[in-house]
Amino acid sequence: MYKLNQLLDTLEVEQLDKYLFRGTSLPLALPRVYGGQVLAQAINAAARTIESDRQPHSMHAYFLRPGDAKRPIIFDVDPIRDGGSFNTRRVVAKQNGAAIFNCSISFQKVEQGLEHQMDLPAGTPMPDELESDQLRTERIYAGHADKSAPFIFPLSMVDIRSTQPQHPIDPEPAEPEHGFWFRFNGKLADNDNIHRTLLTYISDYKLMTTGLRPHRVPGLMEKIQGASLDHSMWFHNAVRVDEWIYYHLDSPKSGGSRAFNRGSFYSHDGQLLASTAQEGLIRVRD
């Protein structure tokens, strides 16, 4: 079981030169590098080329090729612009000389301004009312040794508690809207870069599969070729990922072998912290 300090070591990429970084992958039970890892490593690298009074406010990324978890990833940061209020960085992640991912990240000097927000969805159960995803999955699969359990982050690293979980073995079609509470297991330093890096890491989790929830019919899931295509993220407020955060997800539309998915991060007291949007490939193979 991986622990939080192992994840932090993985996401804190090694600086080779002023704008050049190298990362490794935490081995997970996935066929390729987890997309959230590359997102988090990219924002970690870019933030370390910016003055500390600037914070990321938006990120727009494309997943270009599957990453190989056994090989290092090179992150090449391009300092496109350093302005009076905003800084822009372009990051390209490469393996074997080919780009597997690229993104643009914009940073802003902290300012005050007009404020409003959409509230946390009414009726959302609190985390102390919910069972851990890992414990629930272990309980369900205890009597099904012949079945392969779905990928879940280990409880030793992060506690995830879904509000509308589908049965992992025999799921019924459901509305394309759900969410989960999460809290990384360990007390973290008061370092904004660490918390935003971990928020970015978790932002790819369950986002793409939101568009599959209405289509979970027998025999179909085995035919799905799925992958995250792009990923955008907007940071609204400071976050602490060692405290409970709710990630609300919905999928307004799927079509053309793609599903469009959105997400909103809320603090335990209902403050909107960040937003996400992503298209995922959901191609049905014959």
For residue 170, give the 3-state DSSP assignment.
coil
Tell me the chain's radius of gyration from C-alpha atoms. 19
Give the span between the Cα atoms of 68 and 99, in whole angstroms.
12
| Cα–Cα dist 230/274, whole Å | 17
| Active-site annotation holder among 204, 232, 254, 264 | 204
b/e 172-189 (16+ beta carbons within 10 angstroms → b): eeeebbbbbbbbbeeeee
Alpha-carbon distance 26 to 129, whole Å?
31
Q: Which residue's structure tokens are 């660490």?
A: 194
Report residue 196 as tokens. 């935003």
Of the CA atoms within 13 Å of residue 176, those in its CB half-sphere come to 18
Catalytic pick among 37, 228, 232, 251: 228
Closest listed residue to residue 257, CA positions, set 278, 277, 280, 282: 282
The gap between the terminal CA atoms of the chain, to the nearest Å, is: 37
Q: How far apart are CA 96 and CA 15, in angstroms?
A: 19
Residue 17 annotated among the catalytic residues of the structure: no
Catalytic-residue membership of 68: no
What φ, ψ does residue 55 adopt, rounded to 5°? -125, 145
| Known catalytic membership, residue 228 | yes
Active site members:
204, 228, 278
